[in-house]
Structure 1
Amino acid sequence: MKKYVVSRLLHLIPVLFGITFLTFALLSLAPGDAAQKRLSAQGVAVTKEVLNQTRAEMGLDRPWLVRYGDWLSGLLRGDLGVSYKDGTPVAGTLIKATKYTLVLTVSAFFLALVTALPLGIFCGMRKNGFLDRTVRLFCLAGNAIPGFLLAVLLMYLFCIRMKLFPVIAKNSVQGLFLPALALALPLSSRLIFQVRAAVLNQMEMEYVDGAKARGVRRNYILFFNVLRNAMISILTVLGMSAGTLMGGSVVIESIFMWPGLGKLVMDSITARDYPVVQGFVLLMALMYVMLNFLIDISYHLLDPRLEEL
């Protein structure tokens, strides 16, 4: 196991390097001038001399490969640079926004789990029953509606029509509920299908028929055999869903004005604040690869036979 863990960690290094390199290259090709955007935001008259001076101060007059090398060198020292917009350290800005995004994603993940796991298990145990057909119908609708449209519909219904929640999400449970619900509903729809499929697959195995023939109770078979064997595929979906939530919160946070990473990166893209965007991409990539790493480790813990592969 130790050798496998070390090998997986070493494989993460070139992945993160490739992601940061491609991101930096694409940002250098993006239209717009960060220096001009900064001067305009400050209300400074943009002349050629002032623009050239500002570009030199920001380091934008150098080739992008040189700037990437400087950024990578700073990263190895734990320095993500400073914001073009206000000169604050990027690391501190990301940490502050990450706290809000984690609260939002954990809340949405919890809402999705408490609905998806019991409904998915029940639908798998009662295939083609009334509840199974009804739940699948709602899940299809949940998967079909785009996230931004769902967020707008929830805002219109609960904020404007019923006036139960604030239009602009505040740092409170009341302001958190709707953004979390907008993230949780599509995720719950996907999880119900996956959990149902995993349970159905295990219920068709021969060991289930053998256990029933020996008189083993149905609940015992479900919780100690079926769910345990189905947990590997369920964990895969849960892990990737957690990463999807972090990335999918960009649109939801912008709509509800929740002060997390999503709103931060959207504002940074508008302001051409590339150091913050680069830091955001690195953080998201790190979260994704670490989630995949933890899922792989959980596979080996749940099924020791994988050690032999």
Structure 2
Amino acid sequence: MAENTVDTVSTTPATPLTLLGLGAMGAALAEAWLTAGHPLTVWNRTAARAEPLAARGAAVAATVAEAVAANRLLVVCLLDDASVAEALDGVDLTGKDVVNLVTSTPGQARARAAWVTGRGARYLDGGIMAVPPMIGVPAAGPYVFYSGSRELFEEHRTVLAAPADTRYVGADAGFAALHDVALLSAMYGMFAGVAHAYALIRDEDVAPSALAPLLGSWLTAMTGSVAATAAQLEAGDYTLGVVSDLAMQVAGTPTFLRTAEEQGVSPELLTPYFALMRRRLEADRANGAEDLTGVIDLLRR
């Protein structure tokens, strides 16, 4: 079962570390560690990106091997999983603690964990729930999901918390990526709904700025369904606490589609979900008393 641990930034010992990758996120992480007083060695394929950090006291390594050799704790923030393999190919990782913050799939994270531990290192995977301007700004609410070696996490949790809070979600190295992608998938679903809503009013005498507070407050109110869905899934009872049942909601979908047609808006962001709702209802009319939770089972292969 996933285990959550939340840390806040505090005074930290000057733990030295190495960072590979100085893109927008890597540079933000580097700035945060330097601000917190951690001796930092950096490497980037384009060396010029390290110059501002060197001016702040970071050591700049000429090669990946040199950077890795400098410290036991190694943080990787490169473009993708393939970049990690390329950068660390042939580099001695014996005795190192590798924290991989590259966005990846759960399967890639598990494979990378096996690849790293097979070379004599401990491994921790991370999923960053923040954009670069949020890093090092606790009030902005940044945090990172971590999974993999619990021992590595516990030993380095304070230094890892300098740029952003930490949430340890389990020993399975793929869980950080899984949590990351699950949350971001829900985010994009919300963005799709928002896009459709604004498209409906685009050619009307309704200012987007007038709709925005209404839309924001409505979506906030609807977040209560997140916990309700979890309760139904865990109970195995999709009729638990239902307010608007599936049959009633399916009956209402033609209004949304007709409105889109009248407004000259493509329904393509809505129709896949509406199709799942109808399939769930048509499979067994008894499902009509359920909430929308049953569509989750239709998505599983």
TM-score range, shorter chain: under 0.3
More strand by share: 2
Normalising by structure 1, we get a TM-score of 0.24
Structure of greater relative contact order (alpha carbons < 8 Å, 6+ residues apart)? 1
